[in-house]
Each structure stands twice: as structure tokens, then as C-alpha cells.
Structure 1
Amino acid sequence: MTDAYVALEGGHVVEARGRSPGTARGELVFTTAYTGYEESLTDPSYEEQILTFAYPLIGNYGVRHERFESDRVHPRAVVARELTDDVADWLTAEGVPAVDHLDTRDLVIDIRESGAMKCGIAVGDDVTPQDALDELAKCKTMSEHTDIGAQVSVDTTTVYNQTGDGPTVALVDCGAKQSIIDSLVKRDATVHVLPYDASVDDVQGVNPDVLFISNGPGDPANFESAVNLVDEFVGEVPIAGICLGQQIVARALGGTTAKMDFGHRGVNQPVRDQRTGKVVMTTQNHGYTVVDPGDKLEVTQLNVNDDTPEGLDSEELNVLTRQYHPEANPGPHDTFGFFDEVLGMVDTTSGRTLAVADD
């Protein structure tokens, strides 16, 4: 059995079985999802984190590339009660350390009680607990990853469904899941995926019907370029956002954000619509939240468990955001209609050419 050690913030070291060799460090978080491990492991929002699966068996239906949300595994390392050989082999090929045969229930309780924490992992035939502690000592907080967008974004603009008959969407890629793009393309939108640090001129060059800010990893305070785009174009073009995108939109419009203790990560988060009283089940993956949306946005949806904002709207400004993932993958399909609402904000009769008002 390959040696493996998990060093937790505070200095406690847990012994485990190594399934994929290497060393890693990152913020230790957990997901309660019991399916969708392929989608979770390829979700860019897990960049610079170590992902612990609360469900005990991961890999019982193999690994299929068509379920991937990006072109690589994003967590720095993976922790599970038991990993199948299929998943372990995949992570080994990706160069991502992985461990199992430890009590993940204890880890989840630690994270719930102490919050997401720094972590170091060492896996190999001759590693020691000190190797894991050395990784822990070098670990940064998520807010210290000031340019994390560069690690997950496209380098140059990529266009999907160039000949589509629907609206044109400028999607600012702060770590977008492929299923968000697919959801828009299925509705015949032409989607221009722009880098996370796209300029005002870049967006103007697309002349979009909708400006869409994607999900992604890290602290929204570190995505100043995207905040600036929302500030520049609000009131000129409909604006939408998912997850990190909601936080960025809120900050641009005078709101504030903060880090959560252990975040929302799973496929069974209940959300209540304040207008209708209807509760839907949602997929979520975020460690930051909107604390105060400011006076320009209305909180239209709340998390049933902790009352954090799950939906922000402004009919006057044509703004619509969601903290959860309406596209699911994995998860329930209760919220697919969000994409229809977003594209429904477009005035297809205006024949408008986008212009930005001078300050």
C-alpha cells in the first residue's frame, strides 16, 4: 500500500491509502453530491482546492469524457472513503494526487465546525507526515490567489454556434462550466466566450445582446476586470450571472461579498422563490456569497437552510443572476428555465448597436 498523509490546518495529520501519487496543497472542502463525480472533478470552480467526497464510494459507474465540464481535473487533490480503480487511474493520468481509506465523516465534521481549511497532501512509496506538513506550510488562502482567473479562463475569444439564429451572448469566462455554454447553444444563441480579463473594447467588438458573467473559483474581489465590465454595460445591455457571476454583478452594483464558513457544495440545496413561495432543489459549488446586494438589486430567491441570497434581479436594469447552477450537471433539473429567462431579456426588435456611455 502506498503511503499517504493528509495534513490539516492546525497541524493534525491523518494517515490514508494512496491511490494517485504526488504532493499537493489547497483549501480543503467537501461536496455532499452522491453522483456526478466526473462533473465535479472537472469543474473549474474547484481550482486551488482539495475536494473531499462525503459520499463513501466514488467511481461506481466509471469515467466518461462526455460528462466532463472542462478539459482537465481542477482540484489539486482528491479525498474519498473509497475510490474505484477507474477514478484512481484517471487521476493518476491527470497527475492529481488522491487518497482513500480514511474516515471522511470526521473530515466533513471538522470542516463544518472549523470551516474550510488549508491542507497539505503527500502520496508515495516513501513519503512521510512531514512531507504533507511541508505542503500545508506553503498553502495560501483562497483570497490570496489574486490571479486565479488566469488559471481557468480561455486565453482568446472562442465562438460557439457561430451561425445561430438566437441572441448573441458575450460570456466572460471566469471558469465557466461547459454545460453553461451548452445550455445557451441549445437555445440557438451564439456564444462568444471571452477571457476573464476582457476589456470594454473586447465586449463592444462582440456587440452582444446579453453580457453573461460565468461561475469560477476564488474570491470575487479578485475579478476586477469583470466587475468593471458590469459597471460599464449595466443599463445598456441585459446582464446575467451564475455563482461567482452573481457575486461579481453584486459588487459592481454597490453590493458586498464575504467568505462563507464552509460554503455550499452539493446537489440538494433547497432554494425558495420570494415571489411565488416555490422551493426548488439546486446544484451549488461556492465558498463566497453576497452579503448585501446594495440598493439596485432585489433579492428574489433565498437558500432555505441559511437565508443567503440565491437570486438577484433588477427589471429596471435588465439584470438576472443566480448563485446556484441552473444548468445542473450533476443535479436536479428544476432550474433549467433560467436560461430562457436570460434570453427573454433581449429586445430582438431594437436593431441596437452597443454603445457605452461616457462617464
Structure 2
Amino acid sequence: MSDAYVALEGGSVVEARCRSPGTARGELVFTTAYTGYEESLTDPSYEEQILTFSYPLIGNYGVREERFESSRVHPRAVVARELTEDVADWMTEEDVPAIDHLDTRDLVGEIREGGAMKCGIAAGPDATPADAKAELADCKGMSEHTEIGEQVSVTRRKTYNPEGDTDVALVDCGAKDSIIESLVERDATVHVLPHDTSTAAVSNLEPDVLFVSNGPGDPVNFEAAQHLVSEFAGEVPLAGICLGQQIIAAALGGTTEKMDFGHRGVNQPVRDLRTDKVVMTTQNHGYTVADPGRLDVTQVNVNDDTPEGLESEELDIITRQYHPEANPGPHDTLDFFDDVLDMTGRRTPVAAD
């Protein structure tokens, strides 16, 4: 007997089993990653979304806090073919609804055909299809979450490795912890700043690099971060990852657009247009750069030709749409952080393992 229901934007209702009770609404997306569920579930880029795992068994190597990418679970709910007790208990502790025992292949097929869609979930002994439909009726589109930055950003400056060699001002639009760690490993001092940081606050830090992080939602809703890019472009080297690439492009005359179902997984092939080399990358985004504006496209996705890397030698800018820190995923692109710090001319190499 079913005790969980998923109401989809297209009108259908899918039955499932409750593993963590509650109700939720959000944009239904899927990831193809078969490992890294701890990192995915704590990735701030999944804020206001419902995450479906296409891999059938989630939780087969337990739950360890040292793998978390932030202090909490960010998806509004979790969907899988089968969840282990470890993950189910974790979601219950976090008060995040979780369901399994449904055909996730069919669900992923619907997303691929119809695109990421609104959905509602109701799970628990008293849950009904009507409850799930009520959640769907109240669900917003991602572009409507205009204040999403406040949900994932720090509220005041945090500084890591204060005696480092290079000062990085990181605009936190939903940064993963491993981005900060990748910079600290290279002996950078990282000042993590709120998403709506003022120009004066950045100027007072006199950073060597201004870095715009990953994060959730529509880049047009991060106006303050775009303003910072406009103010400091050409004055301070700029870098960005994922949402950060989109924000930097939009601030410099470019445009962005929503993708049908985005790129989410650890096996996305990216080709460098200068070397013709292909690397495998970790990705998690639902928007992309449509027009790079004043920036040059240096890397593209092999599957759909969307921009994966933007640069400007004149302005000292380098961005990546994928996640070079690769947690989870391949380590093909970790040298991005070396390239960022090379722009300052004061990089300290990472010590060999």
C-alpha cells in the first residue's frame, strides 16, 4: 500500500513509499551521479528543487559528515528507486521528505521529455494524492524565487586561512565548501562575502581576485553580484563557477537562458576549443549562458555545445560552468584553481600528495 505521492505539473500522480514524512514543493530535477549522494544532498545549488537520483540504490556506503558540502540538506525532497536506512534516517533528522519504491527511470524519462517541472510531494501515513496536488498548486517556478540568494548565502563575512598568500573575495551565492577548500589548499586567504555585498565592502578588502560562486536559481535574481562584476571588471581579476559564470557574463553584456532539464551529474564531457582536449566534469545547473557578451567562449559541452568556459585576457577573467572542485566527480579540472590564482602572479603551488 502506497503512503507517498508525487503530483507532476503534467497532471499525473505517481505512487511511492514514504521513507521520511512530510510535504514539499519544488522544481523536479534529476542527477545521473551514482556516487556522491552526500555531496549532492548538501549542495546549495539544489535549493528549492526536488532531487531525483537516476541511480537505483542511494546510500550504499553510508553517510559521513566530512563529505558534506554545506551545513544542511538543500533539496526540498528526495526521490530514489531505493534509499538505505542511513539516508532515510538522515532525511528524517533533517525534516526533509524522502520517498522510494517508484520507477525513477520513468520519472527521469518524463523530465527529459517535458523538461524540469514543478511538482508536489506528500509522504506519510495520512498522505493523499490531494495533498500532493495541493503542494503542486502552490509551487513557484525557479525564476520566481527572487530572494533565493538569502536562503543560501552567509549573512556576514567569514575568513578562511587569514595568513594566506593571495586574498580572494568570494561572493557567496550558494558556495560549496570544497570550492573554499580548493583555494585554501593553494594558500589563498578566502573572504566569503554575502551575495548582496556592497562595492565598498569589496574595495575595503583590496582583494587579489573577485570570485563569484555557484548557487541556485535564475542568475537575473542576483543583481548585487552582477553590479560587483560591472564595478570591478578590468580592475581586479575575476573568476566564477557555475552560477558565477552566468552572473559574470550577464554583467558584461551577455544573456542567460533556462535549459530544458539542465546538466546534473559527474560524467559531462567538455571540450577545450584551443587544445581540442576533452575532459570529464561534474555539473549541476539549470541555466546557461546564451550570449557571452564581452567574454570569449573557450570550452563547450560536447553533447549540446553550451558554453562551459569563458575568458577575457584583457579583463583578467576566467569562468567555468562545471564544478572544477569535483566533489563528487572526476578530478580532470582541478587546475582551474591554479589558473585563477595565476592571474594574480602570486600563486603558491599545491603541495604534492
Q: Pick the TM interval, shorter chain.
A: over 0.9
Shift of 1:348: 4.2
Give the Cα separation in 2 of the matches to 1:328 and 1:276: 21
Q: Which residue number corresponds to residue 15 of structure 1?
A: 15
Shift of 1:314: 0.3
Q: Is residue 2:58 matched to residue 1:58?
A: yes
Shift of 1:10: 2.2
Give the counterpart of 1:336 among 334, 337, 341.
Answer: 334
Q: Which residue number corresponds to residue 302 of structure 2?
A: 304
Look up the SS of the partner of 1:88 in the other structure: helix
Q: Cα deviations across residues 266-288 of structure 1 (Å, max 9, x unaligned)? A: 00000000000000000000000
Matched length: 347
Q: Which residue number corresponds to residue 94 of structure 1?
A: 94
Q: Which residue number corresponds to residue 356 of structure 1?
A: none
TM-score normalised to the size of structure 1?
0.96
Q: Which residue number corresponds to residue 224 of structure 2?
A: 225
Give the counterpart of 1:324 among 313, 322, 325.
Answer: 322
Give the Cα separation in 1 of the matches to 2:38 and 2:287: 23
Look up the SS of the partner of 2:303 in the other structure: coil
Q: Cα deviations across residues 99-157 of structure 1 (Å, max 9, x unaligned)? A: 00000000000000000000000011111100000000000000000010000000000
Q: Which residue number corresponds to residue 276 of structure 1?
A: 275
Q: Which residue number corresponds to residue 45 of structure 2?
A: 45
Paired AA for residue 333 in structure 1:
H
Give the Cα separation in 1 of the matches to 2:304 and 2:177: 29
Q: Which residue number corresponds to residue 149 of structure 2?
A: 149
Shift of 1:206: 1.3
Shift of 1:2: 6.7
Paired AA for residue 256 in structure 2:
T
Shift of 1:347: 3.8
Look up the SS of the partner of 1:51 in the other structure: strand
Q: Cα deviations across residues 31-67 of structure 1 (Å, max 9, x unaligned)? A: 0000000000000000000000000000000000000
Q: Cα deviations across residues 58-96 of structure 1 (Å, max 9, x unaligned)? A: 000000000000000000000000000000000000000
Look up the SS of the partner of 1:61 in the other structure: coil
Give the Cα separation in 1 of the matches to 2:205 and 2:92: 40
Q: Which residue number corresponds to residue 169 of structure 2?
A: 170
List structure 1 segments (4+ residues) > 6 angstroms apart after TM superposition: none
Q: % of aligned pairs identical?
A: 78
Pairs within 5 Å for 1:1-359: 3-164=3-164, 166-294=165-293, 296-348=294-346
Structure 2: gaps (5+ residues):
348-353
Q: Which residue number corresponds to residue 350 of structure 2?
A: none
Paired AA for residue 242 in structure 1:
I
Give the Cα separation in 1 of the matches to 2:346 and 2:103: 55
RMSD: 0.9
Give the Cα separation in 1 of the matches to 2:44 and 2:265: 15
Q: Could you tell me whether the CA contact under 8 Å between 1:2 and 1:123 is conserved in 2?
A: no
Look up the SS of the partner of 1:240 in the other structure: strand
Give the Cα separation in 1 of the matches to 2:228 and 2:345: 20
